[in-house]
Structure formats: structure tokens, C-alpha cells
Chains A and B, each alone.
Chain A
Amino acid sequence: MMKSELIETLAVEQNHLAHKDVELAIRCILEQMSQALASGERIEIRGFGSFSLHYRPPRTGRNPRTGDIVTLAGKYVPHFKPGKELRDRVNRHYATDSELPPSE
């Protein structure tokens, strides 16, 4: 599912907002989330998961073409940890389809 399809589905499912407003709202949510992470803030969505930053310490690398040693500064990378509801829902059908005999 792409962003445009997500916008499409939301616009159909709820009946009080214009398509354009749904599109703006989703852009706004994603921008706020990016902005939060870019300023070092965590995001916590109960039942979905949390986003935080993980630190990568400085290291020395090599330019693969010249073989020169380059020092790479420490940096932060975004990290997502799925919440319990998301973990369970994603695994539910998979678990029942792939290994459990019909039991429901």
C-alpha cells in the first residue's frame, strides 16, 4: 500500500472530510512525525509501536575506489519497535495459515 492508496481509503471510509483535507491531514501527520524524530523526540502510539533514535558511534571506513581511510562521524538513525497489538495482528493469520491445524 502506497501513501496515495492510504489517502484514498481514508477518504472513502470517513464521510465528513473532503479528499483534499484527508490528503493534507496525512501529509501533516507524517511531517510532524519526521520533525519530532529530527529533533530527537520519541513517538509513542499505543497498539501500533514507538519510534526512537539509535546512536551509531563514529567509525573509520574506506573509500572503496581509492582505499583511503575516511573517518565517519557518529550519527543517529530512526528505529521502530512494533507494539503488541501490531505484532499480534500481523502474526495471527500467518501463524494460523502456516502451522496450526484448523482449530478455530
Chain B
Amino acid sequence: MSLTKADMAEHLYAELGLNKREAKDVVEMFFEEIRGALERGEQVKLSGFGNFDLREKKQRPGRNPKTGEEIPISARRVVTFRPGQKLKSRVEAYAGHEQP
């Protein structure tokens, strides 16, 4: 069981009365805008939820796990997510099973 774009569109339709087409478009554009900003090298800050940051990684030695051959992992830019205080405290309270 996991939350998907289809669930989010359905929720917008039910909660806000957007029609299904609009709901689907808004959900799609929401994620596309975030990807676009990160692609341009911009951090994305969603207050109450968290920040998507960019980090630059230097080249480092790696290994092909199958063959054991050494191959360098090239320098790259990666996305990290830092949850905001509000999201952290909401999640911390989750007292479900050992492993979700």
C-alpha cells in the first residue's frame, strides 16, 4: 500500500472539486516543477514539509560488485531531502510496526 499520483489526483477531485483532468495535470506539474528547479541547480523549500537540497560529490573509487573490478565513480550532483521540523515530529509519533 503506497500513495501514488493517481491517489493524489483522486483526492484533489474529491476534496477541492477539481475535475479529473485538472487534478491529474496539477499533480503532474507539481512534481515536474520541483524536478525542473533541481535540474537548474536550485534548492526547493516547501515549508512544513521539507527541503530538497543539491550536493556535489567528488569522484571516488568504486567496484563492480559482480566482477570485483575497480572502476571510479564519477563526480556527480545528487538530490537530498531534509524533512522539516513539522514533518519530523508528525512521523516520530508513528508507533507502528518495527519496519514500515
A62 lies within 8 A of chain B by Cβ:
no
Which residues of B have CB within 8 Å of A6? 30, 33-34, 37, 44, 46
The residues of A that contact B29 with a CB separation of less than 8 Å are 10, 13-14
Residues of A in contact with B (beta carbons under 8 Å apart) = 1-3, 6, 9-10, 13-14, 16-17, 21-22, 24-26, 28-30, 32-34, 36-53, 55, 75-80, 82, 85-87, 89-95, 98-99
Tell me which of A9, A22, A44, A91 contacts B4 (CB under 8 A): A44
Judged by a CB distance under 8 angstroms, whether B69 is at the interface is no
* Range, interface on chain B: 35 or more
- Give Cα A38–Cα B7 distance, bound, in whole angstroms: 17
18 additional A-B residue pairs with CB within 8 Å, beyond A26-B30, A82-B79, A93-B39: A1-B33, A1-B37, A1-B44, A6-B37, A14-B22, A25-B30, A28-B16, A29-B12, A29-B30, A34-B49, A48-B35, A51-B81, A76-B96, A78-B88, A80-B81, A85-B35, A86-B79, A91-B78
Contact partner of B31 (CB less than 8 A), chosen from A25, A45, A95, A99, is A45
Spell out B's residues near A (CB within 8 Å): 1-5, 7-8, 11-12, 15-16, 18, 22-23, 25-27, 29-31, 33-35, 37-50, 52, 54, 56, 74-81, 83, 86-88, 90-94, 96-100
